[in-house]
Structure 1
Amino acid sequence: MQTEQNPLILTLRLDDSSQAYFDELRERYFPPDRNFLKAHLTLFHKLPDQPDTLEYFNNLKYGTFEMKVIGLRHFGAGVAYQIESPELQQLRKEAGLYFWPVLSPQDRQAFKPHITIQNKVTPEASKALLRESSAHFKPFNVNGIGLDLWEYLGGPWRHNFSYDFIK
């Protein structure tokens, strides 16, 4: 009998200062009993745990790139920062084409990059944070410096693999 493996989640790694900034916001606004993770920008939610998955990322040749944080997004039970980057979109598109036959319906949807700082709260609480955060928001830049592959453990994630972009 074959056991099903845990899916792999692919995230973009941010520069240290940007990661610290979003981690602090997530720590502040995410319900503590549901906050198992650091802030992250998910590229794929469910990749297969197979040798060719790691091989694909081992063979990537991407340089670091700048991304623009363009605003905030409300999604009912939370708030996220919206990210804009042609390089990120290209990276996601190329990987999506490679993995298309095994992508989940969620991962086949249009890619709208974001970093969630609040989730699983009441609509009132998320609307209040959106109003508060939007009032003084000014676009700013962050850097994509690599990729991380995580094993989904039903809540927490376990780090599986890192890929550093070329500097």
Structure 2
Amino acid sequence: MSNAYDFSFETLQGKPYPLKDLAGRPLLIVNTASQCGFTPQYKALEALWQAHKASGLAVIGVPCNDFGAQEPGSATEIASFCELNYGVDFPMMAKVHVKGRDAHPFFRWAAGQGGFLAKPRWNFYKYLINKNGGLEDWFSSLTRPDSPKFKAAIAKMLG
């Protein structure tokens, strides 16, 4: 796979979500979990989505249960949790693995592009994909989506 647009996910509703349909748009892809200390980042992710979707930014949440079993819910439970607790309106994908042999191909690709440290080591790793489908930057769980550093990276990517 040569760029992020070559990958596809499935939505929480079970529908295909090929990233090629977003070709030419910048993407923010985040592995998420509902029972994590970083879960409140959903609020800032939703704010980014609302602030920048008109500029073309697509925010995509990808639940995983790989770290501390912090996303045990079904697709319906995840959707309900995100909407009721954080008003999440951005696209949420079906739960996948982000590490190990069974890791979703996008996360293997992103780790390969970003180097050893870019491999998800916990929930809420954030991957910025530029308009050409390349990995622009990545951020660990510790970098909040509303931090000045992250907002600057979004602004740079949006040009």
Higher strand share: 1
Normalising by the smaller structure, the TM-score range is under 0.3
Task: Please say which structure displays the higher CA radius of gyration.
Answer: 1
Larger RCO (CA under 8 A, 6+ residues apart): 1
**What's the TM-score once normalised by structure 2's chain length?**
0.26
**What's the TM-score once normalised by structure 1's chain length?**
0.26
